[in-house]
Amino acid sequence: MSEMEQVMETPVSFRQRVQDFWQLFLEHEHELRFRMNNELDPSQSYQFMSRLLVNVFTKPVFHLKTYEDHYELIVSPDGSGSRLYQLAYWRMQAPEALDEHWEIIIGVPPAETPEMAALELDGRSIAATSVQVWPVLLADGRMGIEAYSEDLLPLGPDGAYTAFCALLEQCIGELCLMSNIEYVNVLEQPAMESCIMLSDLDAYIADLQMSGQLPPQDDPLGLFTSYTMEPPEQQVYLRDDIYFGNTSAAALPILNSYYIGENALFDEAAREGVIWGFLFFNSAGIDAEQRVNVRGAIEDELNQVLAERGLGECVGSASGYQYAYLDCICYDWAGFMEAAEEVLENYVQLYQISLTGFADFRQNGNMYVMQAYEE
């Protein structure tokens, strides 16, 4: 039995795990606040919080902060765009009762004073004010970063890159880094052009956002990217017929993993009760000029139902010569499939769609045939 099949049979969906976690957190958050206020060893509070978070996330990465009677729980996607979906869904389900004492934050925010940002490494301090950067605006609306600092050179290429990225996250925040920065290149010699200091990069990016040259908010889930493919003459598997697609930039690693046959992302999500997959329907019988509109109508209606019930969401779509596709994340697979069948039923009859179904994002993975038009 595959891991996906095991998840489908278990009642512990991600949706249920999230509900159970917030109930548990409500019961114990007062104890956590007491620990944070009174324990001399902060690791004890972290261990307590970790025991709570593992009820919903297999490998939580988080930070705790205290400001007098105000407390912060910062949960990081740890560089994984696809995990942002789970974190965003989890955050949206947080009970309002927590607002009195807690702020729940997704993604590590930038330092309050970037000019004070520094990295302690091997007994030495590397300050953001000592690092020169040359931002490069790219054609796709994102930014590349060229960087130089004498303090980074002794670390070697790999060490310098790692250290710079850690400082960069301190200065602009994790979500801004994931949203706006396409590449980082640490130079061995400073560039000839005028530079800015890394400590000033956050304000520089904010100005570009205000002027419309970069996305107006640091929201990786709100960025979409288009792609084209060249279908083979013979279509053997689903998705082989795709010639155009559009997907959330945060979900792009899911597509890449699928096409290279790597299942680690799917296995990790499945352990948390999350299923990544795609709905498909045979669109060959729909007039060519109507196909995109029909797919879009299905996507809009399905997203509305999924949001109302907290079951999942569509993260992208694709057009094929034989099929149309909606890429999805399922927080409750059983409920998701019920909602999908409800939405698709009218379209199946209206457009005489010969086949609809759901497949997980694996090469030769599990496939569930849902319904088909009957005369």
Domain tally, the chain = 3
Strand 224-228 vs strand 181-186: parallel, antiparallel, or unpaired?
unpaired
pLDDT digits over 175-198, tens only?
Answer: 999 989 999 999 999 988 899 999
Q: Quick check: is 40 in a domain?
A: yes
> What's the mean pLDDT when you consider all of the chain?
90
Please give the average per-residue pLDDT across 344-366, as a whole number: 87
Please give the average per-residue pLDDT across 227-250, as a whole number: 86
Q: Residue 46 phi/psi, 5° resolution?
A: -65, -40
Report percent pLDDT > 70 for the chain: 95
Same domain, 365 and 239: yes
pLDDT digits over 42-100, tens only?
Answer: 899 999 999 999 999 999 999 999 988 899 999 999 989 899 999 999 999 999 999 99
Same domain, 122 and 66: no
Same domain, 118 and 81: no
Same domain, 186 and 120: yes
What range defines the domain where residue 231 resides?
Answer: 220-371
d(CA 306, CA 330): 9
Whether the CB-CB separation of 294 and 351 falls below 8 Å is answered with yes
Same domain, 24 and 130: no
Same domain, 10 and 76: yes
Q: Quick check: is 230 in a domain?
A: yes
pLDDT digits over 307-336, tens only?
Answer: 999 999 999 999 999 999 999 999 999 999
User: DSSP readout, 84-125?
Assistant: HHHHHHHHHT--GGGGGTEEEEESPPPPSSGGG-EEEETTEE
pLDDT of residue 104: 97
pTM reported for the whole predicted model: 0.89
Same domain, 273 and 363: yes
Same domain, 198 and 163: yes
Please give the average per-residue pLDDT across 241-262, as a whole number: 92
Q: Quick check: is 189 in a domain?
A: yes
Q: Quick check: is 149 in a domain?
A: yes
Same domain, 73 and 101: yes
Q: Which pLDDT band, with edges at 50, 70 and 90, does 340 fall under? A: very high
Same domain, 190 and 227: no
